[in-house]
Structure 1
Amino acid sequence: MASNPKSLLPLLLIVVALITGNGVLAIRHLLEAELPKIPELPKPEIPTLPKPEIPSFPKPEIPSLPKPEVPSLPKPEIPSFPKPEIPSFPKPEIPSFPKPEVPSLPKPEIPSLPNHEIPSLPKPEIPTFPKPEIPTLPKPEIPSFPKPEIPTLSKPEIPAIPKPELPTIPHVPNTPLH
């Protein structure tokens, strides 16, 4: 379903173009047909009615009530408790231990390894190859074709169709309403 009604316009034009000549004639008659004029009827008069009177009532009086007295309550007393005594403990003494002596070990001797000589190998020779030759190809020729001629068509003539006459619609005579 199309979301935009303007996108339906080309489709509508294509459908109308494909309709046979009788359909086009019927559409033309529908578009050119005039609607019959409807006579305007007289408007009935509405009588004016007198405005109703609203009686005025006396304003009600609200009696004033005495202000209630809130009794004052005595403030509650919080009893005081004696502060608990925390006994003090003597600080523990940490005994001092003699520092342990670490025995000294003799330094190990690392034996020296004999020096090995790496034999020198001869450098390999890389053979040189001749540079390859790339053959040149001839440039392809694109054949030229003659420009096609588009034939021009003559504009079709639409024959004039006489406008059909519609039968007259009888009018209702204006009679006064009772």
Structure 2
Amino acid sequence: MATCSFSLVIFSTMVLVLLSTSSGARYLEESILPKPEVPKLELPPLPELPKQEIPKVPELPKPEVPKVPELTKPELPKVPEFPKVPELPKVPELPKVPELPKPELPKVPEFPKVPEFPKVPDAFSTTNP
């Protein structure tokens, strides 16, 4: 009994589509089919409608604006002058703080130099015979 998987159906369909587009099958089919002829419909001429005149609206009289009496500007009250504030006495200067001497670091005694030991030749070196 033969089985057919879904992926095989999709794959074969895609191959057919690609082959038909590359071989120009669609172009051949379209060139063989005759083009349908559409009959031209003749429309009857539209009747001309008479122009309607819009009646003129009578002009309304402009309403008169009543005259408003001019308002007088209110006088602002004078700002009273304040007496000048007497100058404040100067702040007394603080006495200068004497400068403290810079702290000195304690002297560290120097360590004696370690004598260099002579190099011992390597017993396992590859350069010696």
Return the structure number with greater relative CO, CA threshold 8 A, min gap 6: 1
Q: Taking structure 2 as the reference length, what is the TM-score of the superposition?
A: 0.49
TM-score, length of structure 1 as denominator length: 0.38
Structure (1/2) with the larger helix percentage: 2
- Please identify the structure whose Cα radius of gyration is greater: 1
